[in-house]
Amino acid sequence: MSAIHLEHLAKRFGGFTALKAMDLRIEDGEFMALLGPSGCGKSTTMNMIAGMETPSEGRILFGDRDMAGVPMARRGVGFVFQNYAIFTHMTVRQNLSYGLRMTGRPKSEVERRTLDMAEFLQLTPLLDRRADRLSVNILQRVAIGRSAVMEPAIFLLDEPLSNVDAAFRAVMRTELKQLQRQFRQTMVYVTHDQLEAMTMADRIAVMDHGVLQQVGRPIDVYNDPANTFVAAFIGSPGMNLLRGRPVRTDRGLAVDLGVLGVTPPLAAPQARAAEQARGEVIYGFRPEQTTLAREGIASPVSFVERIGARSIVHLGDGPAVFKAVFENDVPAAVGDVVRVLPHADAVRLFDAQTGKAL
């Protein structure tokens, strides 16, 4: 009933196209993250689902009910705003119970559900505090609680964790997941933080410049990005993308990367893809899926970031730069020439013209 179906959804603001014909099906009870950089159209999509914006084209269906013309008050969606939009002149209790009171629920029910929600979010001791004197972390909980107490079938969250500190963000990620497990809402979560999307979402929809780039389970999007944008956007650091030309070597098909030399031979699936490629390809591999080996790509080290558990080694110069991530410390110093070998089955090829995966 509360599946969300977006059909050719588009939104234009004057001459600016915020969203181009988006098709997406969000299943009932699914946790879907809309992920992308600022201005990619994710918030616009969310606002249209909530009914705050009217689509320029296309349809939004909840279950099989067309939402066109249904005002936001009657869509029954919970919405958590990026800046929380807490009613600062009210207490926490008044904030949490607002929706229930306004929709005329009996007093005893309002009381009970407000207390339950406060208990769930550990807000009980703060119930009678005025909201304008609370920390951002608490406001964040109040904002989630205020919507969740209405038990909406669809819960929309617009970058809810972007203003809270890192430690609290980790706590909230767990709590949001718990919340969803308890109430089984369909959740749509807008974020530019891939860590949030990857850890919480059942599926993520990666967007850029108003275009849906890829939809899939986090691990699939990570392993098999549909194009170079997704490849570079997902992962920290993103996938290395090096331009080159398929060449035949005595050990099989490989990619000639120019100044970086010829790559090790491609594994069978990639080799088949390379056969079909016309002209240049992009040779992609994840920085963390590499080892130092004699047959690897030789390049001078330009910089080493040592961040405790791992080291990020920046290699090459000019257009042919890439990164490699190693567990523990690596005995590499700036200026050393090291040989980095991508795991053969982790290499992905993209069309150099279109950026699409081959």
Partner 1 sequence: MTLADAPLAPPVPPTPAEDGARLGFRLTLPAQVLVLFIAVFPLLMQLYISLTDWSPLAGVAWPRAWEFWNGFANYSDLAQDGRLWAALGRTALVMAVCVPVEFLLGLSLAMLFVDEFPGKRVAYSILIMPMMVVPAVAGYMFFMLFQSGGPVNGLLGTLLGRDIAVAWLSDPTLALVAVMIADIWQWTPLMFLILLAGLVGVPQDQMRAATLLGASAWQRFRTIALPRMKTIMIIALAIRVIENFKIFDTLYIMTGGGPGVATETISVYIYEVTTQDLIWGYVAAIALAILVILSVAAVWAMKRMGRAAA
Q: CB under 8 Å to 171, separation ≥6 — which residues?
A: none
Site residues for partner 1, 130-189, by CB under 8 A, read 146-147, 150
The tally of CA atoms less than 13 A away on the side-chain side of residue 233 is: 26
Q: Does 79 bind partner 1 (CB under 8 A)?
A: yes
Q: Which is nearer to partner 1, 159 or 351 (CB)?
A: 159
The total number of residues written for the chain in this structure: 358
Q: How far is CA 277 from CA 76, 130, 245, 246, in A?
A: 49, 63, 9, 8
In angstroms, give the least distance from the CB of 99 to partner 1. Answer: 3
In angstroms, give the least distance from the CB of 291 to partner 1. Answer: 50
Q: Which stretch binds partner 1 (CB under 8 A): 3-11, 72-80, 113-121, 317-325?
A: 72-80
Which residue is it, tokens 């929706």?
99
CA dihedral 342, 346, 351, 352 (to 10 degrees): -30
Q: Does 73 bind partner 1 (CB under 8 A)?
A: yes
In angstroms, give the least distance from the CB of 85 to partner 1. Answer: 4
Q: Which is nearer to partner 1, 152 or 264 (CB)?
A: 152
**Number of amino acids touching partner 1 (CB under 8 A):** 22
Q: How far, in Å, CA of 187 to CA of 152, rounded?
A: 10
Q: Which of 18, 32, 67, 98 binds partner 1 (CB under 8 A)?
A: 98
Q: Which stretch binds partner 1 (CB under 8 A): 3-11, 94-102, 226-234, 318-326?
A: 94-102
In angstroms, give the least distance from the CB of 125 to partner 1. Answer: 24
> Which of 227, 254, 250 shows the shortest CA–CA distance to 238?
227
Q: Which is nearer to partner 1, 156 or 301 (CB)?
A: 156
Site residues for partner 1, 29-58, by CB under 8 A, read 50, 52
Q: How far, in Å, CA of 192 to CA of 337, rounded?
A: 35
DSSP string for residues in 258-310:
GGG-BPPPPPHHHHHHHHH--S-EEEEE-TTSEEEEEEEEEEEEEEEEEETTE
In angstroms, give the least distance from the CB of 140 to partner 1. Answer: 14
CA dihedral 316, 321, 326, 332 (to 10 degrees): 20
Q: Which is nearer to partner 1, 111 or 220 (CB)?
A: 111
Q: Which of 28, 81, 216, 304 binds partner 1 (CB under 8 A)?
A: 81
Q: Which of 21, 61, 70, 72 binds partner 1 (CB under 8 A)?
A: 72
Q: Which of 103, 124, 174, 182 binds partner 1 (CB under 8 A)?
A: 103
R_g (Cα) of the chain, nearest Å: 24
Q: Which of 86, 110, 172, 179 binds partner 1 (CB under 8 A)?
A: 86
Q: Which is nearer to partner 1, 148 or 198 (CB)?
A: 148
Q: Which stretch binds partner 1 (CB under 8 A): 80-88, 199-207, 292-300, 305-313?
A: 80-88
Give the count of beta carbons closer than 10 Å to the beta carbon of residue 318.
7
In angstroms, give the least distance from the CB of 158 to partner 1. Answer: 10
Q: Which of 87, 175, 302, 310 binds partner 1 (CB under 8 A)?
A: 87
> Which of 201, 232, 200 shows the shortest CA–CA distance to 215?
201
Using left for φ > 0, alpha for ψ between -120 and 50, and beta otherwise, residue 8 falls in left
Q: How far, in Å, CA of 45 to CA of 206, rounded?
A: 12
Task: Say whether 60 sits in a helix, a strand or coil.
Answer: strand
Q: Does 102 bind partner 1 (CB under 8 A)?
A: yes
Q: Where do contacts with partner 1 occur on this chain (CB under 8 A)?
A: 50, 52, 72-73, 75, 77-79, 81, 83, 85-89, 98-99, 102-103, 146-147, 150
